[in-house]
Amino acid sequence: MSNHAGSLTRNEILSQPEVWGRALRRLDESGWAQFPDTCPRGPGLLIGAGTSLYLARILAHVGRAVSGEALFAVPPSDILVAGEDYTAGKKPWSMGISRSGTTTETVRALGLLRDWFSEDTYALTCHSEAEMAKHATATLAVDEAAEASVVMTRSFTTMLLAMSRWIFRLHSKKELLAAQEKLEEVGGGLMDRLAADAAEAVKRFTPGHIVTFGQGAYYGLACEVALKVKEMAILPSEPFHTLEYRHGPKSIAGEETLIIALMSDRGRELEAAVLKEMRALGARVWAIAESAQGLTEDHADLVTELGTGLPEFARLPLVLPALHLYGLELALSRGQDPDNPKNLTQVVTL
């Protein structure tokens, strides 16, 4: 392994607040002109693979909560294999989500949806010139978040920011729009502390496997964190809706288990009760929450308090950097090079 193992990925992780700020300013100055300023009609299909599927899950949740419209996160493979099941009944609009814009399954699925329905086909990407955009009537692109790394970090959080901003704009969510404008400053101020917590987590825990917890919009984030750990550190990891872990999966909880709990504001008490039960079974717990208040060592071994003061749907991108850094540091501690992850390529082309 080189002395600089992971440096490419680390720089992309650390650049997040600045890239969020740049993307947001560019979109607000000139970017929205190419994108619809009215809500597409009917149910929406958000199509993405891997990290982009988890992004679709978060966006479907946030979009549904804000608009009241039915939104579904769908892997492109399911459009190829069982597309009729998603398109029976009301005509859907669809959005392909892909950092590269060249993932074969996503490009094909969006092409099929365009052929079936001829319009209302959008793209969300970091490569505005790539193939996927050719199947879209409009493209929401954040090329400033494009990455050289295989592992997706800032591309995920910046696409999340851009698409949720579009949703907030369509529904005039002024408070959420204003809060997003603070992410660069708040995130920049937090980064050192998040890096210190990630390093502390690597020092304290030697997990045999990791489980990640999240409810609501946090579930998609939990899926993404589990994937980061797998991709970078080559460690088994599984996401769960926090309270679901009681219903069977806890049978494997024990001293080898590290639980990374992404805590919501609304579900705090319900989620804290699960953490307490899992601590009692011997699992180690790292909780990431807006406020550490009321979380004792009975609930968690380590608590990262974000303390952003921002509303929940606006601050979601800020939950990730500590865990990106954890995946990276854990990988290095296990002799892996996160810049060259095992068995992976930047894009899956078939």
**Is 139 a residue that touches ligand F1P (CB under 6 A)?**
no
Which of 7-15, 78-86, 94-102, 318-326 is the region at the interface with ligand F1P (rule: CB under 6 A)?
Answer: 94-102
CB of 53 to ligand F1P, least distance (A): 8
Spatial neighbors of 306 by CB under 8 A, at least 6 apart, are: 190, 288, 289, 290, 315, 318, 319
CB of 247 to ligand F1P, least distance (A): 28
Helix, strand, coil percent values for the chain (each to nearest 5): 55, 15, 35
| CA 173 to mean position of chain CA atoms | 21
Cβ nearer to ligand F1P, comparing 8 with 287: 8
CB of 49 to ligand F1P, least distance (A): 4
Among 46, 49, 73, 283, binds ligand F1P (CB under 6 A): 49
Cβ proximity of 137 and 128 under 8 Å: no
CB of 158 to ligand F1P, least distance (A): 12
| x/- track of binding to ligand F1P for residues 230-259 (CB under 6 A) | -x----------------------------
CB of 319 to ligand F1P, least distance (A): 18
In a 3-state reduction of DSSP, which class is residue 168? helix
For residue 314, CA distances in Å to 110, 116, 173, 185 come to: 28, 34, 10, 14
**Is 138 a residue that touches ligand F1P (CB under 6 A)?**
no
| x/- track of binding to ligand F1P for residues 147-186 (CB under 6 A) | ---xxx----------------------------------
Of 162, 105, 100, 108, nearest to 135 (Cα)?
108
Among 50, 92, 214, 338, binds ligand F1P (CB under 6 A): 50
Among 106, 212, 264, 336, binds ligand F1P (CB under 6 A): 106
Which of 25-33, 144-152, 186-194, 323-331 is the region at the interface with ligand F1P (rule: CB under 6 A)?
Answer: 144-152
| Distance between CA atoms of residues 298 and 29, nearest Å | 48
Among 52, 242, 264, 336, binds ligand F1P (CB under 6 A): 52
| Distance between CA atoms of residues 182 and 205, nearest Å | 33
Spatial neighbors of 238 by CB under 8 A, at least 6 apart, are: 209, 210, 211, 212, 226, 249
Among 9, 51, 157, 180, binds ligand F1P (CB under 6 A): 51
HSE (CB half, 13 Å, CA atoms) of 266? 8
Interface with ligand F1P (CB under 6 A), residue total 17
Rg of the chain taking only CA atoms, in angstroms: 19
Residues forming beta bridges with residue 140, ordered by sequence position: 124
Q: Which two tokens stand for residue 48?
A: 């993405």
Instruction: Give contact residues for ligand F1P (rule: CB under 6 A).
Output: 49-52, 98-100, 103, 106, 150-152, 231, 344, 346-348
